[in-house]
Structure 1
């Protein structure tokens, strides 16, 4: 049996990189961004939790982007305590000078900000969207793509009751291909309260009112369950966001949750109607997951301007809950709480503004203009989290320059230790390591590992185990890539190791690059290497 020591040659990624790949692990979604061209020499760094990055968008009172914001213009507070800003810099996107008419060219040339590509997620909600809302939402997104002058990459996703959070396609820079992906989004024939023959919020004039009332209660229960499913599915986007250290934006296109879902009735007490905080709590959880992934979420209302006729003495659209007082003797099924256009708007505002982003409504032209201006001036603020700040950090950024506002994350979490990560997060971590990216999550001790082939067929390798890993349970990863590091395939196993470990190799079709990686969870000691062509 011939055994030959293999030391991996430096990898030469393609000159022109594509910064995002998406994988689907079970019901979760994993997105990976790979780096600019670099040599894969042994990774020589030992990283503690050094700093966290907060994305910041700046604009003035008229909504125009502000490109000359400085670090001294801002004050950062974490959990109410002032924190020193380590660095603050504007990120320049390709061709972003074309997006504004008020910025002086000389200033841009003097600043020389870092040039990056940004990734834009368009998520079409098919659970709380009518046919009209979905059609109008596609129209809005098509125009946003058309008007993009920054060479962004687009990811099209769909959040549906039966399919979950589904990748339709992307990342894609070609606008024609992006529009084809948008056309593939289709609304499933789900029950929609707004389009029901019998409005679940209004009193039925029909003789079989009692039967209709029972049906209404069941529909409300079903719709509330849909809110939970909606949040569960969309929260999984967090894992994709964690793997992307480029500028990223999320746009949720929806009509929002019907306002009736925020009320509850006691079936045993006539006229007893109370506020149900459950949907609101679930929306807060969604916002937290998106923020923990390092992104803001912008929400777009795609429904009709006047969905239902408002009754007298009710509040005007967009002004909050309706001011209707139930009459004694009626239950929630009897009282008229109309589903006006602001029923879904309030929930979308909660999610958008609550994440640190914004909410957009109105005509398509108005939405395009406001989105374009609000997201053009992008900065990254870095700070070092102190031990007294805790794990959950509420963020507040005050801009001291008059007339300037900023959008940023409202909360984040201290980086999680590897041993506490979920399996999908460990897989993201492993792929980032072999691709030479700086995860900067914890203390890392990473070395190249030696291996030998076990047979002429090259179906297994034997890896030398370092002393500090021997007789310890470790995580073993085999990662395969297609050409240009596309479409990674990753296998993970947990086992106890001794002096050496035999790893079986099953080469997959079209996979050109192969790595092994072994991590000891407690010490985060890692060995990895690229396996020669097999």
Structure 2
């Protein structure tokens, strides 16, 4: 982690003038101001004696710091301990001597459940002890956040940062996990049963004649699952780190895991890395991938502590599995601790509880010879003998391009954290011409937010990234375009409407996570996310409503040659004599031309579809809504009936309503929430 310090140098220029061989008086010109940004590397150092007590009487001169083997000068030094432990005379002296205000030192705690690699039985059996440990640790920090690494969705925040102990206790008591290992065991168990049945069949009836081949196939299948779980562990863990780093302050991460399934050195693993955080390679030697992973997580102000619910006390380090070794490495590289043994929970309360409130905060300027992108090793030495010193072992310095990729990855995986740009978005599923379903995406961007910020010039354009995340299938589809906003700003428009559809992506029925990211040239980012389900229309009953989309109707002077298609120019729905601009917020003026676009599965073209529309409010008042069909088209390839109805809200009072569509067929029913304004 780097701290940016802005130094202002006053350069005094003195001019000398000689006139007629006489020396004139020196003239002092106006001082010139130049800003120079100096990046400081921040290191939290934990120093204890052999009994585990924090040593708080060290000074700046007791420390030496080396980066990549070169000694560096300490620029900032402070010992952080609770105020109640500072003697009054020391506090007064500290205030008098300090030249700059001390920044906040509160630690934040992140409890991260690695549900990809943790054994459910051990976690459940030790849950009361774990829960008590969590409660004790949460009381030592300003705020606590709870996260999990989920096999279906990757990283997921269960409880955002909070200081409410009752809320945290309630979350812990209700927390249920979805373990990858459980899924893996069930699959392997079923396969063992099938292979066992295969081995019991007569030789002539076997699909695999030799039983040894069956066992070999089973072992290979198990290795495949472990490699897949390892790759998912890297991807999910890095995504979690990218989420955590967005929060201010020092974060201690308590990792609950049985360790990463590292295999033999000659084994290779395929990394799901859509944003090229691993450098663009797809296949890595397992140890090479783990080393790269350690460097990536060590570039932020994160300190990892780890324990394994399934770990028993071991006699020596040689008995450790590769999984436990991975936990120790993660903790050691970031300056944390991996604890094991029968008393690990009690020890964690003592050790982590102490580290959360007692440490040395040190910053230094990296040497010029090493100031380039890449990984830099850190070594901290304490001159006094007999002390135990812990610190992060290095940090990664990224280029502007690498940092942008990291920001994109963070925004894509956790859009809800990015609120620098305000905008609304809505996405619906549509299908045309028997092709694969598409997402119809609309954005509404308020423009005053760019006019009001006097410190930043209004941008001419915004970069927009739209993506579809299929975490379980290890696929990410995304594209990036530019949205021009300069003309709209100059015209004085209140907001900008932008619409488009996806193309070239073969989307099958199922659940999808969609994301929209807007990026300002000044490193401001806004994010949006939603889950959408593409229905399998072949399994739908006849006359089922597939899509129901509200929008604004505009007259079209020239008839469109391709009715019921999305315009590539402005993203509207082209009709025979109109254009439909799909709504984003479903807020309508009662005097506007509001239309409803329906897509209905209709296996037989002759089937009659005559919907009736009603408005309900608070489930008490139901009003019949007048409507008029203005366009219709039956798509023979997809068996989808496309119809547009003009809705009449003239006599409707302002308020929030629920629009309900019904037909004579009982199963035909659809509801949309909307708001009418005067």
- TM-score normalised by length of structure 2: 0.48
Distance in 2 (CA, whole Å) between partners of 1:55 and 1:414 is 18
Q: CA deviation at 1:301?
A: 1.7
Matched, 1:319 2:322: no
Q: 1:171 — aligned with what?
A: 161
The change in CA–CA distance for 1:87 and 1:219 in structure 2 (over 3 A counts) is: same
The change in CA–CA distance for 1:293 and 1:131 in structure 2 (over 3 A counts) is: same
Q: 1:280 — aligned with what?
A: 287
CA contact (8 A) 1:284 1:351 kept: no
CA contact (8 A) 1:153 1:172 kept: yes
Distance in 2 (CA, whole Å) between partners of 1:384 and 1:104 is 31
Alignment of 1:297-316 (within 5 A): 297-305=304-312
Q: 2:336 — aligned with what?
A: 357
Matched, 1:87 2:52: no
Distance in 2 (CA, whole Å) between partners of 1:265 and 1:459 is 52
CA contact (8 A) 2:122 2:310 kept: yes
Q: 1:212 — aligned with what?
A: 215
Report SS of the residue matched to 2:298: helix
CA contact (8 A) 2:311 2:340 kept: no
CA contact (8 A) 2:118 2:179 kept: no
Q: CA deviation at 1:149?
A: 4.5
Q: CA deviation at 1:210?
A: 4.1
Deviations 1:421-472 (A, max 9, x none): 13548979x97989xxxxxxxxxxxxxxxxxxxxxxx965496799x97997
CA contact (8 A) 1:297 1:352 kept: yes
Alignment of 1:186-265 (within 5 A): 186-188=176-178, 190-191=180-181, 210-258=213-261, 261-262=263-264
Matched, 1:402 2:390: no
Q: 1:162 — aligned with what?
A: 152
Deviations 1:479-517 (A, max 9, x none): xxxxxxxxxxxxx9845676883575489xxxxxxxx99
Matched, 1:413 2:411: no
Deviations 1:34-79 (A, max 9, x none): xxxxxxxxxx995624323222222222222222332111111111
Q: 1:391 — aligned with what?
A: 373
Deviations 1:145-198 (A, max 9, x none): 225553431110001211211101021212221122223433325345789769
CA contact (8 A) 1:121 1:155 kept: yes
Distance in 2 (CA, whole Å) between partners of 1:209 and 1:58 is 56
Deviations 1:254-275 (A, max 9, x none): 111356x236689xxxxxxxxx
Q: 1:372 — aligned with what?
A: 353
The change in CA–CA distance for 1:280 and 1:137 in structure 2 (over 3 A counts) is: farther
Deviates more, 1:216-225 or 1:416-425: 416-425
Distance in 2 (CA, whole Å) between partners of 1:111 and 1:71 is 14
Deviations 1:58-107 (A, max 9, x none): 22222222223321111111111111110111234576x4xxxxx87865
Distance in 1 (CA, whole Å) between partners of 2:243 and 2:46 is 21
Q: 1:150 — aligned with what?
A: 140
> Unaligned regions of 5+ residues in structure 2, if any?
1-32, 96-101, 201-210, 269-282, 422-444, 466-479, 498-517, 525-678
Q: CA deviation at 1:404?
A: 2.3
CA contact (8 A) 1:239 1:424 kept: no
Matched, 1:382 2:355: no
Q: 1:122 — aligned with what?
A: 111
Report SS of the residue matched to 2:118: coil
Q: 2:303 aligns with which of 293, 296, 307?
A: 296
Report SS of the residue matched to 1:68: coil
- TM-score normalised by length of structure 1: 0.60
Q: 1:12 — aligned with what?
A: none
Alignment of 1:402-481 (within 5 A): 402-414=385-397, 416-417=399-400, 421-422=404-405, 423-424=407-408, 460-461=447-448
Q: 2:42 aligns with which of 53, 58, 67?
A: 53
The change in CA–CA distance for 1:116 and 1:367 in structure 2 (over 3 A counts) is: closer
Q: CA deviation at 1:371?
A: 2.8
The change in CA–CA distance for 1:463 and 1:149 in structure 2 (over 3 A counts) is: closer
Distance in 2 (CA, whole Å) between partners of 1:158 and 1:152 is 21
The change in CA–CA distance for 1:505 and 1:138 in structure 2 (over 3 A counts) is: farther
The change in CA–CA distance for 1:294 and 1:462 in structure 2 (over 3 A counts) is: closer
Deviations 1:221-260 (A, max 9, x none): 111111111111111233334433412111111111356x
Q: CA deviation at 1:377?
A: 1.6
The change in CA–CA distance for 1:188 and 1:280 in structure 2 (over 3 A counts) is: same
Distance in 2 (CA, whole Å) between partners of 1:176 and 1:470 is 45
Report SS of the residue matched to 1:186: coil
| TM-align CA RMSD | 4.6
Deviations 1:380-418 (A, max 9, x none): 211123431122321111111222233222121336548
Larger Cα-atom Rg? 2
Distance in 1 (CA, whole Å) between partners of 2:35 and 2:482 is 24
Q: CA deviation at 1:305?
A: 1.6
Distance in 2 (CA, whole Å) between partners of 1:281 and 1:397 is 26
> Unaligned regions of 5+ residues in structure 1, if any?
1-43, 98-102, 267-275, 307-315, 323-340, 435-457, 478-491, 508-515, 525-534
The change in CA–CA distance for 1:232 and 1:517 in structure 2 (over 3 A counts) is: closer
The change in CA–CA distance for 1:376 and 1:109 in structure 2 (over 3 A counts) is: farther
The change in CA–CA distance for 1:89 and 1:291 in structure 2 (over 3 A counts) is: same
CA contact (8 A) 1:94 1:150 kept: no
Higher strand share: 2
Distance in 1 (CA, whole Å) between partners of 2:292 and 2:267 is 24
Q: CA deviation at 1:359?
A: 0.8
The change in CA–CA distance for 1:396 and 1:92 in structure 2 (over 3 A counts) is: same
Report SS of the residue matched to 1:62: coil
The change in CA–CA distance for 1:317 and 1:216 in structure 2 (over 3 A counts) is: farther
